[in-house]
Chain A
């Protein structure tokens, strides 16, 4: 037996090898190897099982990942109590008996590869090591605590389904299977992350999703070199094309129904083990303006609301810049009466209007950030203190003028209506850029900013799909569901495959 002191440097070296180079370790299939690898981990349980006086086997499992009851009832108990086992004299016989199914367990694997054993051990498998034969039996005893399926917290829905993804990958895939009972639903799995070894699943519907897209995504996922996949951006940043952009290129959802409907559109979903948010790619700008609720309401109402969403996004983007432009360059555009009241409120305020706009815009973002970070017990205070008291005081103290407050607040509230918050933040950044440009030279600057923004969108592609689709680059295809949610949107959709055929 290797003692702890003996583990020493050699094992440490092997361990770092595994972590850094993802190298296969070359260790014999012995319990000592495991002990060496997990020397300091107290949750790794090593049990010596005496079947009878001559025969001893070792059982290794990780407490918390493996279901202890299962291990006891289905492995330890038969081994020690069943006569079949207690009568066995040598290991060869034992192997035969186990292979013969005497340990009635569904998923039993036989291996002499330590790497595989370690990998599975960390997923909750119990490893039964036979000392002399140098082989191990792996029992699928996975069973850890997980959160039950709950109502979505971030994406509320009035009429849609109310279940949400959880942290457990298998539960999530099961939810998908329940909603789409077709063999065409493919759920591939990869392991990403050198240290974390996280399962990442790629799901798509065979025949609808573009094969090339799936292939290139698979390749991109395989190429990822990272230690961990604890956060979604680890995957996201590796699979997107444009790195230098504040705009989201991946759609996140915690709702299986949204996920499934995306799959039916020919898009590909990525589920990461341990993260209750799933990713959908490729995305284009329209996806950030749609909600699942759009499909559970009357289509006329939804179309109007969607139109308003685009309008409000435009308001959030350009209104402060426009205000800056017309109050400092294009006075003829302000109606006379309004101009007089703007002048009267602006008098006594020391800053130029654009500085007021920027300050206030940042202040609004501060409120959001404070609201998100503050302890929920005093969260209500933020809006009260921030918005009411400070805002009111700032106006009376002539820090900012009421006109600017109205404009920036209108833009900020319009910004909140954008369903996708990542997109909303990006819009906010561009709002500031436009304010800066229009403070330099009025509407001209603003238009230059808009040109740059459109250019930014135009050259962005997500997995080869244009970001501006279907407004641009798709020859008008798929535009049925862009702004207007037409009545027959649920009819069979053109698959991306067919579309690409047309493209040729």
Chain B
């Protein structure tokens, strides 16, 4: 106890009298830290443009309910780390990377490969590996950040909402840094990164009566917004951007890699009216089979849906009609998955990745063929099988529009 007290007091006095301050550079008081929540990476000639978004308290501090407000800052540097250090030349607070939630990377930057830029986020001790990666199509990351912040919204919050709702349509996904890193380091499978797109609304009359949006709409005749749709796919070896899968093709891809949470399939009843089905469960098995040296891969999808909306008046709940719906549904899913497969074959990248399945199922054989995988991949015969069923109908059994006979 005596010794403890002595040690404590010595350490503490040393610290107070600044003897240790020089040794301990790690101290960063919470009050002078800037929390980076979203990062944007862009290409600027041969440099990297780094945009950071911090959530800080707004200038209107007098009220008790201080408003959180996003601010963004931009620097350029040869590498991310250098660009990061340039912030210190003009920012009055320390930048803290420990709370980065989203990393936006512009399409132009990924054209030369993604791996070089991920290293910083893997290596730095502050950054978390659960930050989500997004690639911005056409526009730069800075522009997309600007777009949201200028409209008075919170970029981090917006991305958060987009990410949360990604399962509703299942046209995109979430890829945290560590997952991206482990697929990028695998030389046989291509990696996918969710795609952010900026969409210009064609119609000018906005549905919402929100004052803010209205004012934005006045400034630019075409209002733009950020949507999360599709995937950017990267080459397995160089991690360069190969192409995009968007819309229903992306959903096909999600079907193949088992990332479907929910989604909407619109089919027609016998009379040509729309019937909307909601996906509630989907499971895909990738089954590889060797026919001699030739590889045959079957995608077996099991799907179950709900009837969510019936626009016509036909009574669908007969064996015959349900069969019809299921058949259409099967066809649609099959088509979507096929599109995704076609994309993979076209660019010769194993995006699913089938290599993993083969490795697990035929470890001995895999050892022999793994070096020629890219060649073998193009020669694979793909089969898609969909086995679906319609499970439930919500609360009304018959369509609202159905009339009593006679």
Contact = CB atoms under 8 A, between A and B. Distances in A.
Is any CB of A less than 8 Å from a CB of B in the complex?
yes
Interface of A: 244-246, 327-329, 331-332, 334, 336, 339-340, 342-344, 346-347, 352-353, 433, 436-437, 439-442, 445, 449, 452-453, 456
22 contacts: A327-B30, A328-B27, A328-B28, A331-B28, A332-B128, A334-B30, A336-B37, A340-B68, A346-B30, A352-B29, A433-B5, A436-B11, A436-B12, A437-B12, A439-B12, A440-B11, A440-B15, A442-B26, A445-B11, A449-B8, A452-B7, A453-B4
B35 A339 contact: yes
Most B-side CB within 10 Å, residue of A244, A245, A340:
A340
Contacts of B37: 336
A331 B15 contact: no
Contacts of B9: 436
B396 interface: no
A interface SS class: helix
B161 interface: no
B30 A328 contact: yes
A339 B99 contact: yes
A350 to B, nearest CB: 11
Contacts of A445: 11
Most A-side CB within 10 Å, residue of B8, B15, B37, B57:
B8
Contacts of A327: 29-30
Given A329-B28, A343-B31, A336 B8 contact: no
B28 A336 contact: no
A435 to B, nearest CB: 10
A433 B35 contact: no
Given A245-B1, A441-B20, 11 more contacts: A329-B27, A331-B28, A331-B30, A336-B37, A339-B99, A344-B57, A436-B9, A437-B11, A440-B11, A440-B24, A441-B24
A452 B20 contact: no
B306 interface: no
B126 interface: yes
Contacts of A456: 1, 4
B30 A343 contact: yes
Contacts of A452: 3-4, 7
B interface SS class: mixed
Contacts of B126: 332
Nearest to A434: B8
Given A436-B12, A439-B15, A440-B11, A332 B99 contact: yes
Contacts of B33: 331, 339, 343
Given A329-B27, A332-B99, A332-B128, A340 B4 contact: no
B360 interface: no
A244 B30 CA distance: 37
A328 B96 CA distance: 12
B55 interface: yes
A331 B98 contact: yes
Contact of A433 (B8, B30, B99): B8
A328 B21 CA distance: 13
Contacts of B61: 344, 347
A269 to B, nearest CB: 27
A496 to B, nearest CB: 27
B346 interface: no
A339 B128 CA distance: 16
A439 to B, nearest CB: 7
Contacts of A344: 57, 61, 66
B15 A329 contact: no
Nearest to B127: A332
Interface in B356-388: none
Contact of B35 (A328, A336, A437): A336
B2 interface: yes
